[in-house]
Structure 1
């Protein structure tokens, strides 16, 4: 083989190596629908209130279950800030592992809680002795998940992503009486499927899970972070000082909350808003029924397995 050929091969290997390194250092990594573009910017460093460590002695395995886009990563961050204890996940997200969550893919009692977006039919959920269910308004959860799929954990999808038309093939089952002037967008199809999934996901968890459940609303977590964190820690029987909570509140923003919003642009239609209100109210009714049945006020654990 010629020296030139060997040089080209070596150069390609080096480029591939550094591409992998850049990807692994990217906190915007997305694991579901491919990998979003890597932004060329400095990655913020997490300022932890105390060094992170495993739980000792290990406790029961506590789930942190949420529908995608509901703020699971941010709540994990707040819990780590308040306790100094690592949180785990049933997934392995390299970006999260490199930037604040080294216990990704750890699912035992050495971590404070274990993240999951799975339904109860997934075998992994049988490990949970109790579960925190984080619930977010379906509008915001669906939009956050769409942003994540396009731009990762803290990015925002561009307006063009909401207007991209779906290429249809002949015989794909589209109704013949559909208007030929309207071509469905990826966003419209995504919202339709996610609304159905959002409702069924929450109903399934509340109906099937047999261990203690603590329900947390994302909006309440944003509005009254200290109280909600305190209630969660009471639920999992983990004591922290007021100064520890204060430190967590002081550092509440972290790097895993989206700050950039689409200005002067609302991707939801009036019809979508009607359907979003319908599914939200149905799930709220199920929550009210669950709490009434189990005498649960939402402030501390009531149910025993």
Structure 2
């Protein structure tokens, strides 16, 4: 795990005119940053904060966010989640904060790289939800869909049957990251470009950054050989919980080769851009997270400005798996799944990303832990 700050002279590409940034209005509530297009949205934001400005009583020692007790930021009357099952830990719950209490950063990864498990760890350890998805870049710069109402969130949690992650306990799925009520936003999209020239390509598939804020992200990187296998299975199941099945037929023939070639390149480009298009990126190696979970989690919390409660962290240590863990399958990276030319191609992207990380001051990738390392690890770079 490692964080680096990169300062760019150009800001994010132009925000639409008339947007107003409201910074820390203590008399109203914990507005850290609101991006609005119309004066009416300012009024609505103030009214909403006035309705929610009473702190929630802590049920336990709750930890700190930027030196402030997290329980004082919690929203009232919204669903909460008890991630930690045993009686000694059940009182450590995860909640939304009031609007704009948190400066949300992006939790980015190539799909099937441990993002959902990382979200569980962050939520259980901090007591703060993570979010996922929209609004997308186009809606965001137009000022659309800036928040979900409390009633909509409650109704969604009560009635939603098709949202798998919500059913598993990731209730932050119901909130928009622009509300500032969650500690991080999951994304598998590319980061928003720095300038208009870069913005001409694929303008919808971006994860936007809030205006007038430092671009910060946590990036989770996993062995692409294993991520590609998991992604191929997910493409058939559309579920974070793998079903028991014989998956061998998915990894045969030209369809699999084409899939792997395309997504290996995508793995490289996505990870590279999350290093290059942020001011501060905290890189988490999935293989390190699985082997040394608590130190890696502590590093992420520090990057998030969270000082966790020690008793809560002890409970997390005893319940590291969470709920959204895949069933075992029999597909492993071997010579049948990855023929020689495909192994060489994927490793070319691994070495390219490793070079990018090293040249920007990060620790290198753990090449020894990646599939087929004996063949391709040492190429003299």
Measured at CA, do residues 77 and 281 of structure 1 come closer, stay the same or move farther in structure 2, by a change above 3 Å?
Answer: same
Q: Deviations over 1:38-89 (max 9, x none)?
A: xxxxxxx954542220135712111101111111001001111112211101
Q: Which residue of 1 aligns with 2:247?
A: 159
- The 1:290–1:251 alpha-carbon spacing in structure 2 relative to 1, beyond 3 Å, is same
Deviation at 1:265, TM superposition (A): 8.0
Deviation of 1:221 after TM superposition, in Å, equals: 0.5
**Does the C-alpha gap of structure 1 residues 86 and 282 become closer, same or farther in structure 2, counting only changes over 3 Å?**
same
Other-structure match for 1:106: 176
Q: Deviation of residue 148 (structure 1)?
A: 1.5
Which of these residues, 104, 107, 128, is aligned with residue 64 of structure 1?
107
The alpha-carbon deviation at position 123 of structure 1 amounts to 4.8
User: Residue 324 of structure 2 aligns to a residue in which SS?
Assistant: coil
Matches within 5 A, 1:218-297: 218-262=286-330, 266=334, 267-291=337-361
Asked if 2 retains the 8 angstrom alpha-carbon contact of 1:154 and 1:256, the reply is yes
Give the structure 2 partner of residue 79 of structure 1. Answer: 122
Match of 1:137 in 2: 223
Find the counterpart in structure 1 of residue 256 from structure 2: 187
Whether contact under 8 Å (1:163, 1:185) holds in the other structure is no
Q: Tell me which moved more, 81-90 or 147-156.
A: 147-156
Distance (whole Å) between structure 1 residues aligned to residue 332 and residue 103 of structure 2: 47
2:195 alignment counterpart = none
d(CA) in 2 for partners of 1:287, 1:265: 24
Question: Out of 285, 289, 308, which is 1:217 matched to?
Answer: 285
Residue 159 (structure 2) pairs with residue 117 (structure 1): no
Shift of 1:103: 1.3
CA contact (8 A) 2:113 2:222 kept: yes
User: What is the deviation of 1:126?
Assistant: 2.1
Give TM-score, length-normalised by structure 2: 0.55
Q: Please give the per-residue CA displacement for 1:156-189, whole angstroms capped at 9, x wherever unaligned.
A: 563244256xxxxxxxxxxxxxxxxxxx432211
Q: 1:214 to 1:263 in 2, by over 3 A?
A: closer
Provide the TM-score with structure 1 as the length reference: 0.68
Cα drift, residue 117 of structure 1: 0.5
**Aligned-pair distance for 1:264?**
7.8
Match of 1:95 in 2: 164
Q: Structure 2: give runs of 5+ residues left out of the alignment.
A: 1-81, 136-161, 193-204, 366-381
Q: Is the 8 A contact 2:83 2:124 kept in 1?
A: no
In structure 1, what is the Cα distance between the partners aligned to 2:292 and 2:171?
A: 28
1:153 is paired with a residue whose SS is coil
The runs of 4+ residues in structure 1 deviating greater than 3 Å are: 45-49, 121-124, 263-266
Question: In structure 2, do the counterparts of structure 1 residues 273 and 47 end up closer, same or farther at CA, with 3 Å as the change threshold?
Answer: same
Superposition RMSD in Å: 2.7
Q: Given that residues 106 and 185 in structure 2 are in contact (C-alpha distance below 8 angstroms), is that contact kept between their aligned partners in structure 1? A: yes
Q: How far apart are the structure 2 equivalents of 1:220 and 1:80?
A: 19
- The change in CA–CA distance for 1:125 and 1:158 in structure 2 (over 3 A counts) is farther
Unpaired runs of 5+ residues, structure 1, are 1-44, 165-183, 299-305
Structure (1/2) with the larger helix percentage: 1
Are the counterparts in 1 of residues 83 and 94 from structure 2 also a CA contact under 8 Å? no
Alpha-carbon distance between aligned partners in 2 of 1:276 and 1:297, rounded to the nearest angstrom: 17
Residue aligned with 1:202, SS: helix
